[in-house]
Amino acid sequence: MAKEPNAKKYQYELMIALARCSHHAEAANIAGALVAQPPKDEVIYVHSACGYALAAAAAAGDPTLAKTYMAKAIDCLQKAKERGWADGWTLKTETDLEAIKAKPHFKT
């Protein structure tokens, strides 16, 4: 199901599982594919931000790559906000975003 283009929920779940298992490159590829074409649902950007943030944590041994993933996570959140997403509670409580919560752009 994760390979079906219209099964974004399954792609998201696979992305999160891969990132949590330290397969950051595969997780980041899925996150990128989810937002390659602007999704109709802005929550897809939030899910991708979670995937990128987890990938950043998994890639902590490579600071340059981790920084790239963090920037992509912040960008996804910015795009979600631009499209009307305004769930501050999720930003505060979503543990998948921990890797980027201390970043200045996240707080903005």
Kindly report, residue by residue over 2-56, the tens digit of the pLDDT. 566 667 888 999 999 999 999 999 999 999 999 998 888 899 999 999 999 999 9
Q: According to the model, what pLDDT value does residue 96 have?
A: 95
Q: According to the model, what pLDDT value does residue 6 have?
A: 66
Kindly report, residue by residue over 43-59, the tens digit of the pLDDT. 999 999 999 999 999 99
Q: Where are the domains of the chain?
A: 8-107
Neighbouring residues of 4: CB distance < 8 A, sequence distance ≥ 6: 10
3-state SS, the chain, equals: CCCCCCCHHHHHHHHHHHHHCCCHHHHHHHHHHHHCCCCCCCHHHHHHHHHHHHHHHHCCCCHHHHHHHHHHHHHHHHHHHHCCCCCHHHHHHCHHHHHHCCCHHHHC
